[in-house]
Amino acid sequence: MSGTDVKIDRLVLDIPGLDAVAAQRLAAGIGAKLAEKTLSGKYPRIDITLEPGSEEDLAARIAAALMARL
């Protein structure tokens, strides 16, 4: 990995009512949002709690919440 690569070993989301296809779209959206940012360091665990929303909105809010803690 280069200095600009980000590796996420595990990302666990507990989102009631989300089917497999929607979960894949959400994960891709989160990855795309995080790829736009500069990250560094190691974080063993980050907990966030968000209110429900649309898939696109939720992906952006999850990425923003992660970035606020990284």
In a domain, 12, yes or no: no
Residue 51 lies in domain: 20-69
pLDDT at 2: 46
Task: Evaluate whether residue 38 is within a structural domain.
Answer: yes
Domain annotation covers residue 4: no
pLDDT over 70, % of the chain: 76
Residues 6+ apart with CB under 8 A from 67: 34, 37, 39
Residue at 35 is within a domain: yes
CA distances for 40 relative to 5, 7, 21, 58, 69, angstroms: 9, 10, 30, 23, 11
Instruction: Name the burial class of residue 27, with classes exposed (0-12), middle (13-18) and buried (19+) by CB atoms within 10 angstroms of its CB.
Output: middle
24 within domain boundaries: yes
pLDDT in tens, 27-54: 888 878 877 776 666 666 677 777 877 7
